[in-house]
Structure 1
């Protein structure tokens, strides 16, 4: 159930470029996960009632949902019904969140403030919001992580703000957090304080399109997916992944990586996907042939000129548990006709290999 939930969250929130969140889809997921039997027979959930006296001005309301997107609002509407579970405030001009903006909304499950102009959030804005699970603050003007985040939130999104510092204990108490998105912020390694992720058991962390020059070493040891694409990382070292033994997907595409230290991948024995495309590697990273479960390795767009017979597959038959389903080597100067056929002896079919000619 935990994995299914993570996949649903990522599917709903990973779209690029920016697309509005579909509240109807989220409500369907909410009804499934919460199993709200009191409303199972309510067939009017998607019928808006703009004339409802309880519906805030400039908003559309349906049972448990208040939608106020694309209305040019400069502040959170007043008199939001206390039984609301979803509030959609996307694409407005809200500049700050005040202390009492969400007062009394103890049943709130999802709060969507994407694409506003928010630069300030009152430290008590999220008090008594113990049921809040989804908090989307992407595409705003925040410079740091807000204080006193809802304690039971499972997904936090701060994509494309102005965050350049993540302070120690920034996510203190968020023991149920599964997804943390910090991509497209001017965040450098020096801006991540030691202990910033204390107490988390997060499954996914994304800091793509930032200013990282090395793999951060203080992420929660629980992570299964790490996205660090589009940074300025120049090398991978053994100590980079020592903490992340549960990692299953690693995104390091579009960096400046020239080398991967031998033994680096030994620390992530459960890895399934490795994305190292569009870097500056001159050879296949060492240690891939010792990974029993890896299925996808992207190496296209590098400077690899030679591929050895044992670069991908173990020497001894039967050592690999999962066959490769995708190895990409196109857009490299390697001459594919010089690669021995047995190099890909542990690949599930010819379609799993992508070579092609190198073109400058």
Structure 2
């Protein structure tokens, strides 16, 4: 019974295929190719100026590419209820009327790329409740309007790259609750559309490539907690990321390549604890600092190709226990020490080709692990020393390694003890020269054994010399110079003594001290008195100083008199006499009970 039922299903399926084939072979044969077995109608490259008529509802795929279609009318495809895929790419479409696709209830894929659309009106995509993929790339669209995609609730991928897009309204993506992938490459946006992006709470992948953005501000991608893959590349004016620009994201893959970042954005990255893939290639990054990437606990791949990288500091990848791929090809690295990694045991792929590598003891660890490491078909090449220049890492034998990959211990050249003495306020240079292979780095420690840097009043110069500017008494002590390279360290201490100015604890009859300089009388000091110090200024300097001060005083007085004269002239004629009335104190009678008499007086004053 089961076998008979199966035969009946096969029979009726063959009959259905024949019926559909006959139905499709008739009306569309004149201008299109019908493929009954695939339920497909191919009208590509037929010089069509309009959508052909007579395409029956059995078709599930309709190809209208490479024609001359300019307008899609309302309900243009209303009869094709079974259509699953519609491709209108490579036409001349400039107008799509509202509800042009109405009736395509089962449509899953709609492609309208490489046309001449400048604007898509609200309602154009009405009647497309099941579309999963929409491709409107390579048009001339200038703006995304509010609710433009609202009637496409099932849309999962929106391809909108290579348009003239300059503005995305705040509610343009309203209704796209299921959108997972958005591509906005090669648009003219200069700012991240933060409000519009906040509508896409289900987004998993976002591409911002070849755009004119200059920075990523704080909260650029807020509400996108489900986003896993963010790609921002080929943005030559992007030179900074705000500290909280990536806050709220739980990315597993991040690409920030072909931009203008001068350093790794440590602060914006530190919270991305689920990040596994990081690409910072083709940015002008010169160094990777130590102990700043440890928060990226799950990081497995780091790509930093063509980034002008000069140095990777020891401990740069400390804490990255799952690190397995490092691509630093086409940089300016001289070496990559084992101390850079948390552990080289997890490392599987290492790309160092295109770097001027010095094949010495610092790269011996790579040679010893070359059988476990993969160079992806591009093995590193030695640039120095001369005896191995141009040789690939795979060309060395195990016997050669101990003799060629060596380093020479760092050694300080001047071993003679230095005792530098100076007066307070002077600038002092403490020298420390060393040699070794590789060239040792010079560090200085203060008398309190704190590390001195290349900034501040006491700083280390680029040639390793320690500069003490405006020396103070408290700067006195033993400074330690340390020369270090991969083969070992050497050190020497240098003594600095700073003599302060004399104290001002003197009696009134003795010499007077000001700022460490002594002023004494012409009499010779008596027994037990301190010798006077020479006067710090010569006679000529004093005469000039006194003269300048006297002239300044006279000029100030003259200006005051001139001002008073001009002010008095502006008041008109001045009276030279003044009459003053006054009332003198009252006088009582002799008995003390008489009436009090009051007398008034007047006198005239003459003003001189």
The normalised TM-score by structure 1 is 0.79
Superposed, which structure 2 residues align to 1:1-360 within 5 Å?
Answer: 52-63=25-36, 64-146=39-121, 147-149=123-125, 150-188=128-166, 191-201=167-177, 202-217=179-194, 218-219=196-197, 220-255=200-235, 256-269=237-250, 271-285=251-265, 286-314=267-295, 320=297, 322-324=298-300, 326-336=301-311, 338-340=312-314, 342-343=316-317, 346=320, 348=322, 351-358=325-332
Contact 1:301–1:330 (8 Å) recurs in 2: yes
**8 A Cα contact 2:142 2:165, kept in partner:** yes
CA distance in 2, matches of 1:168, 1:95: 25
Relative contact order higher in (CA < 8 Å, ≥ 6 apart): 1
Q: How many residues align?
A: 312
CA displacement at 1:139 relative to structure 2? 0.3
Q: Does the 8 Å contact 1:50/1:61 carry over to 2?
A: no
For 2:471, the equivalent position in structure 1 comes to none
2:170 match: secondary structure = coil
What is the Cα deviation at residue 265 of structure 1? 2.4
Change (3 A) 1:76 1:350: same
1:151 deviates by 2.5
- Whole-angstrom CA distance in 2 between matches of 1:347 and 1:96: 58
Q: Kindly provide the CA deviation profile for residues 325-355 of structure 1, in whole angstroms up to 9, marking residues without a partner as x.
A: x21112222214x432552652755543334
1 CA distance for matches of 2:264 and 2:211? Answer: 20
Deviation string, structure 1 residues 48-95 (Cα, Å, up to 9, x no partner): 989921325221112321111122222111100111111011111211
SS at match of 1:238: coil
Contact 1:56 1:78 in 2 (8 A): no
Counterparts of 1:164 and 1:134, CA distance in 2:
23
Shift of 1:356: 3.5
Cα distance in 2 for partners of 1:244, 1:85 equals 35
Residues of 2 paired with 1:252 and 1:152: CA distance? 30
- Aligned residue number for residue 573 of structure 2: none
**C-alpha RMSD of the superposition:** 2.7
Aligned residues of 1:56 and 1:79 also touching (Cα < 8 A): no
Distance 1:290 1:39 in 2: 62
2:80, 2:322 → 1: CA distance? 52
Structure 2 residue matching 1:297: 3-state secondary structure: strand
Q: Which one has a larger percent strand, Structure 1 or Structure 2?
A: 2
CA contact (8 A) 1:175 1:199 kept: yes
Which of the pair has more CA radius of gyration?
2
* Alpha-carbon distance in structure 1 between the residues aligned to 2:11 and 2:181: 32
- Alpha-carbon displacement from aligned partner over 1:122-147 (angstroms, at most 9, x marks no partner): 21321121111111000001112253
Q: What is the distance in 2 between the residues matched to 1:200 and 1:54?
A: 38
Gaps of 5+ in 2: 1-8, 333-353, 355-608
Shift of 1:179: 0.7
* Structure 1 runs of 4+ with >4 Å offset: 37-45, 47-51, 347-350
| TM-score, reference length from structure 2 | 0.48
Quote the residue 1:8 is aligned against: none
